């Protein structure tokens, strides 16, 4: 079978389309014919050996897939050959077939496409865990979302609105601002390109403060990091919660005196570890997400699709922060 493999640390140009042996379904596993694989920022990091996990090479990037069940391993129940399913794989998704633990797979709701299935769980799972478990969101809160036009950003906007918050999206262009508005953002802030000098950082902080109003933001969802973090933190409310989600702009250094002055919390969000440590809570979130999806309050926005042979280009575009919504590689029709 075909697989897009990382054979040495490096950028997307180092990926190689290869022929490898097809897997089989082991005990407790599903063998899935992959139809679609969503691209996420960890795919940029994992092929450069900069992610928390470093798989043994050669490996395929691609952290969430959707497809058709081709075979059931021993002891598997609740699935049948031919079921349309999606799963979070961590890596290994840019392949024609994959074997995954049945416990990690879910059936795609009727009427939903493979692209939507592949694009669903990581963004919405991360965002609901961030807002509910770490941010303790409640109706009437004010929420600032950095990187609001990316997959997790749009998911955070939709979920923020579903939970009754006023949501401000922060983005880098008018096109991205429009995407944030379409997802439900009440207001947008358009920021410039980092790095920022002291005056530029102060000016951005004033933009955030103006958007947050007199009380500031109860929640700040930071999926960007870098020089955007400190200006955002300066707009936080008394006893606000700053949610650390990701660092495509770099790992920031926050002045901790600001946390004292605002009596605020800086909260790490590690969704993958959360799902492993508390699978029951994760299952409750999945149930909530499926309900919101069915009600039309959330919906994956797949805005860029790529053929299988251009999977490396999809990762390159993610690295260049070109994503608006979700990027999906079509592995097979």
Q: How far apart are CA 226 and CA 230, in angstroms?
A: 8
What pLDDT score was predicted for residue 106? 95
Taking each helix axis as running N to C, give the angle between helix 121-128 and helix 151-162, from 0 to 180 degrees, rounded to the nearest 10. Answer: 50
| pLDDT higher than threshold 90 for residue 321 | no
Summarize pLDDT for 65-102 with one digit per residue, the tens.
999 999 999 999 999 999 999 999 989 999 999 999 99
| Averaged pLDDT, 101-121 | 95
Domain presence at residue 296: no
**Comparing C-alpha atoms, which of 172, 170, 174 is closest to residue 156?**
170
Residue that is last in its domain, among 254, 272, 290: 272
Burial of residue 53 (number of CB atoms within 10 Å: 0-12, 13-18, 19+): exposed
On whether both 154 and 77 belong to a single domain, the answer is no
What pLDDT score was predicted for residue 303? 92
Domain presence at residue 295: no
On whether both 268 and 126 belong to a single domain, the answer is yes
On whether both 85 and 131 belong to a single domain, the answer is no
On whether both 231 and 155 belong to a single domain, the answer is yes
Neighbouring CB atoms inside 10 A of 281's CB total 14
What pLDDT score was predicted for residue 80? 97
Give the residue, 51 or 31, on which the prediction is more confident.
Answer: 31
Domain presence at residue 278: no
CATH number of the domain bearing residue 31: 3.90.180.10
Summarize pLDDT for 285-304 with one digit per residue, the tens.
999 999 999 999 999 999 99
Domain presence at residue 140: yes
What pLDDT score was predicted for residue 52? 83
Rounded to the nearest 5 degrees, what angle is found at the Cα of 156, between the Cα atoms of 154 and 159? 110
Domain count, the chain: 2
Q: CA 197 → CA 2, 190, 228, distances in Å?
A: 47, 17, 11
Mean pLDDT of the chain: 96
What pLDDT score was predicted for residue 269? 97
Domain presence at residue 294: no
On whether both 126 and 245 belong to a single domain, the answer is yes
> What pTM, to 2 d.p., does this model score?
0.93
On whether both 35 and 172 belong to a single domain, the answer is no
The whole-angstrom distance between residue 292's C-alpha and the CA centroid of its chain comes to 17
On whether both 20 and 47 belong to a single domain, the answer is yes
Summarize pLDDT for 136-165 with one digit per residue, the tens.
999 999 999 999 999 999 999 999 999 999
Q: Please say whether the dihedral angle defined by the alpha carbons of residues 205, 210, 215 and 217, taken in this order, is positive or negative.
A: negative
On whether both 158 and 172 belong to a single domain, the answer is yes
Summarize pLDDT for 238-250 with one digit per residue, the tens.
999 999 999 998 9
Summarize pLDDT for 249-295 with one digit per residue, the tens.
899 999 999 999 999 999 999 999 999 999 999 999 999 999 999 99
Residue that is last in its domain, among 272, 293, 317: 272
On whether both 310 and 226 belong to a single domain, the answer is no
Domain presence at residue 116: yes
What pLDDT score was predicted for residue 53? 86
Domain presence at residue 42: yes
| pLDDT higher than threshold 90 for residue 322 | no
Could you tell me the residue range of the domain that residue 305 belongs to? 2-120+301-330
On whether both 40 and 139 belong to a single domain, the answer is no
% of the chain beyond a pLDDT of 90? 96
| Averaged pLDDT, 117-135 | 97
% of the chain beyond a pLDDT of 70? 100
């Amino acid at each position: 079978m075909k697989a897009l493999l990382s054979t040495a640390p490096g950028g997307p140009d180092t990926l190689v389309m290869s022929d490898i042996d097809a897997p089989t379904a082991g005990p407790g596993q599903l063998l899935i014919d992959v139809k679609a694989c969503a691209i996420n920022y960890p795919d940029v990091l994992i092929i450069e050996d900069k992610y928390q996990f470093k798989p043994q090479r050669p490996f395929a990037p691609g952290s969430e897939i959707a497809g058709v069940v081709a075979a059931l391993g021993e002891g598997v129940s609740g699935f049948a050959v031919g079921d349309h399913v999606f799963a979070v794989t961590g890596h290994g998704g840019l392949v024609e077939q994959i074997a995954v633990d049945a416990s990690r797979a879910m059936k795609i709701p009727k009427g939903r496409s493979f692209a939507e299935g592949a694009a669903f769980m990581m963004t919405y799972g991360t965002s609901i865990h961030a807002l509910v478990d770490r941010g303790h969101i409640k109706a009437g809160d004010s929420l600032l979302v950095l990187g609001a036009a990316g997959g997790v950003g749009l998911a955070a906007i939709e979920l923020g609105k579903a939970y009754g918050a006023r949501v401000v999206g922060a983005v880098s262009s008018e096109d991205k601002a429009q995407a944030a508005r379409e997802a439900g953002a009440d207001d947008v802030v358009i920021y410039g390109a980092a790095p920022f000098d002291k005056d530029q950082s102060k000016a951005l902080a004033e933009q955030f403060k103006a958007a947050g109003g007199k009380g500031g933001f109860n929640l700040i969802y930071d999926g960007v990091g870098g020089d955007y973090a400190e200006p955002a933190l300066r707009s936080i409310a008394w006893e606000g919660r700053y949610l650390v989600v990701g660092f495509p702009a770099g790992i920031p250094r926050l002045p901790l005196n600001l946390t004292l002055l605002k009596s605020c919390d800086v909260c790490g969000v590690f969704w993958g570890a959360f799902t492993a440590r508390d699978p029951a809570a994760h299952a409750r979130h999945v149930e909530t997400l499926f309900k919101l999806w069915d009600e039309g309050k959330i919906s994956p926005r797949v805005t860029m699709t790529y053929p299988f042979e251009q999977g490396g280009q999809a990762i390159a575009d993610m690295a260049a922060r070109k994503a608006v919504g979700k990027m999906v590689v079509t592995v097979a029709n």
